[in-house]
A and B are shown apart, each in its own frame.
Chain A
């Protein structure tokens, strides 16, 4: 077995220790090998891959429609942004447009996810520095955000809500109320946390001037997102190459100055404020859904029975799992392109063409078949630029699917950032990077 470089090169008088893979501050699993002279880190080596789940290989064996749930589990703190990145890459490849309402809902969902991503990152970072109260406060705020997501998407985290060509269902009738609560509660928490940490001398001592990276190094490491912005480079995919309706919304890109841990914390805090601002703007732009007309409708079994004789003209009452995806609603939520979206359930239940359409969509070898070629598209995720590179050979499965994971590049710089520092500096530095195993190791 080949020995790691750090073990091979270690000075005989220095001490080698392992941080991780199972360590409370190693969010998930990563192993940092340290060569120490007392408290001073002489050399470090980071080993990743403990959560390598074969995402890319699995995707090659799944259809374009079926692999969506796997994208949820990449950056599992903001799954909806991963859905969005994948869906938009596919839309670019297929050349389909998305209805306006669906675009607004997508912005709403990605900003909710971004706030919950930053909350989780800062909560964990603060807890590891000893501020447990901050952790509890931020988790509380996250619950309100997830309630809003759950109302609409039906799941708290892994929702698979954003689909290729649109979104799966309309917003929950009560979404405005829950969103307003979430925004209000999050604002309150942000204010409280600012009060607790911004001038807290312990927190400042562990973050100010610790884990400093220069602009040049950050670019050379391919950093993006809040970590890059903390060095003062205002690169944000939402501004640089706007997608969805971001060019119509007013928001700022907060930047830091020194690129240290404190700047990464403060950029994230200010970004959450901007995201809340975006949420309010988008909520004002989304018109209320027209109420469904007519009776409650036929039960699906009854509709199927009647459709044997003639096509029923009453509305079919879909199961609660499909609420919000009624045929009348789908127009504003999904592209009308038949190659891309799942046909409406009502048609599948009651008409022959609908049933055939349904089978053709899900049958292996049919379904979504983009043209031959390759495509790269990126969106701004919680950690930075989430990019998908997809190679299609014209079949219904990707020939190759690659994720450009923002935190892969960020964690690659960890060795450099902690070298020469004290062992206690590893924790806040690593915490402020927001390492997400699912995305890092795929």
Chain B
């Protein structure tokens, strides 16, 4: 079946290429990191150069969830709901130290890293991360998407 393997590999590359440059992101902005997200999204740093400029404020239309800022226990169910509402394939970036690990807030109120609630693809550390760092994180995610294996069992239950 080497011929079919070849076909799917090429198809995967094409799919990955297409997906990585057409990321629609949903910014789940909660806190300080939002300021740096704004900087990254605006003219100076311009996240659009890397094909992730289109912000969708509905999780159903987005395929990249940017969790920007601290997630508290009060907010945790909301984040989970937003994630569940997104369609496959979907990716998650933990933006900033609080989303990565709770950051400097190790106390009763803050979730110690969003990977306790949702799976995370790329972690961007920093409190808050500089926009350059955000772009680097985005490139890392694009690299990951490019090399992701496709689940070919469409139409059947995995």
Contact = CB atoms under 8 A, between A and B. Distances in A.
Q: Note whether A and B contact each other (Cβ less than 8 A).
A: yes
Interface of A: 21-24, 27-29, 49-54, 57-58, 69-70, 73, 76-77, 120, 123, 135-136, 139-140, 142-143, 146, 156-158, 437-438
B32 A120 contact: no
B70 interface: yes
Contacts of A58: 105, 107
Contacts of A70: 104
Given A28-B30, A140-B42, A158 B75 contact: no
A24 B29 CA distance: 9
Most B C-beta atoms less than 10 A away, residue of A58, A69, A70, A77: A58
A57 B44 contact: no
**Size category, B interface:** 20 to 34
Contacts of B78: 21-22, 29, 50
B34 A28 contact: yes
A140 B43 contact: yes
Contacts of A54: 105, 107-110
16 contacts: A22-B82, A52-B109, A53-B72, A54-B107, A54-B108, A54-B110, A58-B107, A73-B31, A73-B104, A136-B43, A139-B39, A139-B44, A140-B42, A140-B43, A158-B32, A437-B30
B32 A438 contact: yes
Nearest to A26: B29
Contact of A136 (B42, B104, B105): B42
Say whether chain A's binding surface is mostly helix, strand, loop, or mixed.
Answer: loop
A54 B109 CA distance: 6
A25 to B, nearest CB: 9
B35 interface: yes
A136 B39 CA distance: 9
Contacts of A57: 107-108
Given A140-B43, A143-B44, A53 B110 contact: yes
Contact of A51 (B31, B35, B57, B107): B31
B38 interface: yes
A50 B105 contact: no
A58 B109 CA distance: 10
Contacts of B31: 28, 51, 53, 73, 76, 437-438
Most B C-beta atoms less than 10 A away, residue of A23, A58, A73, A158: A73
Nearest to A135: B42
Nearest to A138: B42
B15 to A, nearest CB: 29
B21 interface: no
Nearest to A73: B32
A50 B74 contact: yes
Contacts of A158: 32, 127-128
A406 B5 CA distance: 63
A53 B75 contact: no
A123 B41 CA distance: 13
